[in-house]
Amino acid sequence: MSAQERIIIAGLRPTKARLAVLNTIADADSALSHPEILERLSTQKEFDRVTIYRVLDWLTEHDLVHKISGENRAWKFQLSQQKFTSATAPKATSAVLSNNHHHAHLHCKVCGKVTCVHELEPHFPAPLLAQYQVTSIDINIKGVCADCASLK
Ligand SMILES: [Zn+2]
Ligand SMILES: [Zn+2]
């Protein structure tokens, strides 16, 4: 699915900057930080860092990408799993607990590559959830990716 289709299916308006940033994230084989996205878009001088920041916020807000906490508290951005119901579904009321926000991330300690693991989800005891208002869930698993392991 192209960046343009993802934005249109979500009922949103694609702009040049939105498409450029979303394509950059979609083309990467791992989550990208803001400086990495800037670097990859540096050939397209029409987008300054503020524009790219704003677009990243917009993409995150609309759940087209999600933020992952990386090293040194720097966020990394990864494409969200497309929700095929998003065109018809009302705005997610429990966005925090939607599928995009409670999966786990594998972090390679060597190269910093981040991979989404949608199969691993937290299962909360209902009494705890009733008492505590969860606003975000961030499960991080550290290890060594296959590429880095094969270098040894
Ligand atoms: Zn690695
Ligand atoms: Zn993820």
Annotated domain spans of the chain: 3-150
Distance 120 CA to ligand 2 centre (A): 11
Residues with CB under 5 A from ligand 2 (ion): 78, 116
**pLDDT tens across 7-27, in order?**
999 899 999 999 999 999 999
How much is the pLDDT for 89? Answer: 42
- pTM for the model stands at 0.74
Distance 29 CA to ligand 1 centre (A): 12
Helix locations, 1-152, DSSP H:
3-9, 16-27, 34-40, 49-61, 126-131, 146-150
Shortest-distance ligand to the CA of residue 103: 2
Topology classification of domain 3-150: Arc Repressor Mutant, subunit A (1.10.10)
Distance 49 CA to ligand 2 centre (A): 23
pLDDT at 65 over 60: yes
Only one residue has tokens 């590429």, namely 147
Distance, in Å, from the CA atom of 114 to the CA atom of 107, rounded to the nearest integer, reads: 5
Distance 102 CA to ligand 2 centre (A): 8
How much is the pLDDT for 87? Answer: 41
Q: Using a pLDDT cut of 70, give the percent of the chain over it.
A: 86
Q: Which residues of 94-128 are buried (b: 16+ CB within 10 A; e: fewer)?
A: eeebbebbbbbbbbbeeebbbbbeeeeeeeeeeee
Closest C-alpha to 38, from 25, 29, 54, 49: 49
Q: Of 84 and 122, which is predicted with more confidence?
A: 122
**pLDDT tens across 69-121, in order?**
877 778 999 998 765 444 434 443 343 344 456 788 999 999 989 988 888 77
The DSSP code for 49 is H
Shortest-distance ligand to the CA of residue 146: 1
Distance 9 CA to ligand 1 centre (A): 33
Residues with CB under 5 A from ligand 1 (ion): 108, 110-111, 113, 145, 148
